[in-house]
């Protein structure tokens, strides 16, 4: 499908511009944060876990990790875009957790500079669906499986075929009304979510419809995960019906955990 130069420019700079201007964080709808909260809550709380946030953006997952019994966890965030990582580091500094947070550039399709069997949880929240081909997504999943410990868990959230921007905004307004009251819901309805809808959600919907980014049926997502060497543990619909959350464990024997270190050159700076 042909796209106009303006649309093509928008597509190429979408995340980077959103991270740099902080519009990405500002316009995030409540249903998206709820999806992140649910993704984190799927993993039993335990001290000292190592989390890898694959395609971490600005590291919003950190907001949900610092609660309950998740003390002393180590958070590794990786992304191709330095703009998001800068924001992630600032977030860690502001939250006083920079000792336990590391943001590093990496391309999920090339492999990560982490030892095998070194991570307890891999979170891939709305990241793998942007990889253009099935082969790349499967490769990224396999590489993520390599760094997971045999007892580890993959938490994956990707858009569904029923992704509907208006349903996502509706759910977000209900959540806001319930959590923060009518004033916050009214403010967001009038002054924030119209921009979220037109600059963000509708753009994503167009990308999904055109096939440039991947929208899934639940069975299809589970099959892709299983074929990359995982066993599905849990599945649910999130994000106003616009995404699926799947958790899975790696199919690998618990045994010798001293695998070789995956040494991969990080891609050159893209900014």
Ligand X SMILES: C[S@@+](CC[C@H](N)C(=O)[O-])C[C@H]1O[C@@H](n2cnc3c(N)ncnc32)[C@H](O)[C@@H]1O
Question: Which residues contact ligand X (rule: CB under 6 A)?
Answer: 15, 36, 55-57, 60, 79-81, 84, 107-109, 125-127, 130-131
For the CB of residue 114, give the shortest distance to ligand X in the complex, in Å.
Answer: 13
Burial class (CB in 10 A: 0-12, 13-18, 19+), 116: middle
Alpha carbon 163 to its chain's center: 16
> Among all residues, whose Cβ is closest to ligand X?
57
For the CB of residue 129, give the shortest distance to ligand X in the complex, in Å.
Answer: 8
Residue 84 or 229: the one with the smaller Cβ distance to ligand X is: 84
For the CB of residue 131, give the shortest distance to ligand X in the complex, in Å.
Answer: 6
For the CB of residue 154, give the shortest distance to ligand X in the complex, in Å.
Answer: 14
For the CB of residue 1, give the shortest distance to ligand X in the complex, in Å.
Answer: 20
Residue 83 or 222: the one with the smaller Cβ distance to ligand X is: 83
Torsion of CA 224, 14, 88, 120, to 10 degrees: 0
For 26, left (φ over 0), alpha (ψ -120 to 50), or beta? alpha
Residue 74 or 177: the one with the smaller Cβ distance to ligand X is: 74
For the CB of residue 238, give the shortest distance to ligand X in the complex, in Å.
Answer: 12
CB 75 within 8 A of CB 62: yes
Q: Max CA-CA distance within the chain?
A: 57
Residue 136 or 177: the one with the smaller Cβ distance to ligand X is: 136
For the CB of residue 257, give the shortest distance to ligand X in the complex, in Å.
Answer: 25
Residue 36 or 176: the one with the smaller Cβ distance to ligand X is: 36
Residue 125 or 252: the one with the smaller Cβ distance to ligand X is: 125
Residue 60 or 149: the one with the smaller Cβ distance to ligand X is: 60
For the CB of residue 149, give the shortest distance to ligand X in the complex, in Å.
Answer: 21
């Amino acid at each position: 499908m042909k796209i106009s130069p303006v649309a093509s420019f928008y597509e190429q700079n979408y995340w980077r511009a959103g991270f740099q201007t902080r519009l990405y964080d500002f316009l995030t709808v409540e249903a998206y944060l709820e999806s992140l909260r649910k993704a984190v809550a799927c993993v039993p709380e335990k001290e000292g876990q190592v989390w890898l946030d694959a395609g971490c953006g600005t590291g919003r997952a950190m907001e949900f990790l610092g609660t309950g019994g998740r003390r002393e966890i180590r958070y590794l965030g990786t992304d191709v875009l330095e703009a998001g990582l800068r924001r992630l580091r600032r977030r860690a500094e502001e939250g006083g957790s920079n000792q336990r947070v590391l943001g590093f550039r990496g391309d999920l399709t090339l492999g990560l500079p982490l030892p095998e069997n070194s991570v307890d949880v891999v979170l891939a929240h709305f990241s793998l669906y942007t990889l253009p081909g099935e082969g790349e997504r499967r490769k990224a999943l396999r590489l993520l499986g390599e760094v997971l410990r045999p007892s580890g868990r993959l938490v994956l959230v990707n858009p569904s075929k029923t992704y509907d921007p208006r349903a996502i905004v509706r759910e977000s307004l209900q959540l806001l009304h319930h959590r923060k009251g009518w004033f916050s819901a009214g403010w967001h309805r009038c002054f924030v979510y119209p921009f979220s809808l037109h600059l963000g959600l509708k753009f994503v919907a167009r990308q999904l419809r055109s096939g440039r980014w991947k929208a899934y049926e639940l069975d299809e997502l589970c099959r892709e995960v299983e074929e990359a060497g995982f066993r599905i543990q849990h599945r649910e619909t999130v994000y106003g019906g616009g995404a699926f959350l799947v958790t899975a464990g790696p199919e690998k024997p618990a045994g010798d955990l001293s695998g070789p270190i995956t040494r991969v050159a990080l891609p050159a700076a893209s900014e």
